[in-house]
Chain A
Amino acid sequence: MDEGARPIGLRRIIQMNDVWATYGSGHALRGVSASIESGSNYAIVGRSGSGKSTLLRLMNGMLAPERGAVRVGYDVPDARGRRFRRTLRTIGYIPQNLGLVKNTTVLRNVLLGALPRLGAVQSALGRFPEGEVAEAERVLASVGLGGMGHRKAHALSGGERRRVAIARALMQHPTILLADEIVSELDPGTAREIMGLVSEAQRRTGLTAVMVHHDVSLALEYASRVAVISEGKKVLEIGVDGDSITDFQTGSQSTREAVEAYSRDA
Chain B
Amino acid sequence: MTPSGNLVAGIIVALVVAASVNLGANPGLFIGGLPNLWIVAEEMIQVDPGLVPDALLAMAETIQMAFVGTMVGVAIALPMSLLAARNIAPAYVHAPVRALLAAVRTFPSILWAILFVIMVGIGPFAGILAIIMYTVGFVAKLQYEVIEAIDPEPMDAVLAIGASRLQLVRHVVIPESASHLLGQLLYMLDYNIRQTSILGLVGAGGIGFYVITYLQFFEYGKAAVFMLVVLASVLAIDWASTRIRDRYIVRPYSGP
A112-B175 contact, Cβ under 8 Å, with A93-B157, A95-B157, A123-B170: no
Is A185 interfacial (CB 8 A cutoff)?
Answer: yes
Is B158 interfacial (CB 8 A cutoff)?
Answer: yes
Cross-chain contact A100 with B170 (CB below 8 angstroms): no
Place the interface of chain B in its size category: 20 to 34
Q: Which residues of A contact B160 (CB under 8 A)?
A: 60, 62, 79, 88, 91, 93, 95
A window 82-129: CB within 8 A of B? 85, 88-89, 91-104, 108, 112-113, 115-116, 118, 120, 123-126
A115-B175 contact, Cβ under 8 Å, with A99-B156, A103-B250: no
- Please tell me which stretch of B40-48, B99-107, B161-169 contacts chain A, meaning at least 4 of its Cβ atoms lie within 8 angstroms of it: B161-169
Q: Which residues of A contact B153 (CB under 8 A)?
A: 95-99
Cross-chain contact A112 with B156 (CB below 8 angstroms): no
Q: Which residues of A contact B172 (CB under 8 A)?
A: 101, 112
Cross-chain contact A116 with B175 (CB below 8 angstroms): no
Q: Which residue of B lies closest to A116 (CB)?
A: B162
CB distance from A68 to the nearest CB of B (A): 21
Q: Which residue of A lies closest to B163 (CB)?
A: A115
Is A6 interfacial (CB 8 A cutoff)?
Answer: no
Is B108 interfacial (CB 8 A cutoff)?
Answer: no
Q: Which residues of A contact B175 (CB under 8 A)?
A: 101, 103-104, 108
CB distance from B118 to the nearest CB of A (A): 40
Q: Which residues of B contact A116 (CB under 8 A)?
A: 161-163
Please tell me the number of chain A residues within 8 Å of chain B, measured between CB atoms: 37
Is B245 interfacial (CB 8 A cutoff)?
Answer: no
Q: Which of A85, A99, A102, A126 contacts B157 (CB 8 A)?
A: A99
Q: Which residues of A contact B248 (CB under 8 A)?
A: none
Is B14 interfacial (CB 8 A cutoff)?
Answer: no
Cross-chain contact A85 with B162 (CB below 8 angstroms): yes
Cross-chain contact B166 with A103 (CB below 8 angstroms): no
Q: Interface on A for B, CB 8 Å cutoff?
A: 60, 62, 79, 85, 88-89, 91-104, 108, 112-113, 115-116, 118, 120, 123-126, 154, 158, 161, 168, 172, 185
Q: Interface on B for A, CB 8 Å cutoff?
A: 151, 153-164, 166-167, 170-172, 175-176, 178-179, 250-251, 253, 255-256
18 A/B residue pairs, CB under 8 Å, sorted by A: A79-B162, A93-B161, A95-B156, A95-B160, A97-B256, A98-B157, A99-B158, A101-B176, A102-B154, A103-B175, A108-B171, A112-B161, A115-B164, A115-B171, A118-B167, A124-B167, A126-B171, A158-B255
Give 17 new A-B contacts, CB below 8 A, not counting A89-B162, A102-B253, A112-B172. Answer: A62-B159, A79-B159, A92-B161, A99-B158, A100-B154, A101-B154, A101-B171, A103-B250, A104-B171, A104-B175, A112-B158, A112-B171, A115-B164, A120-B167, A123-B166, A124-B170, A185-B256
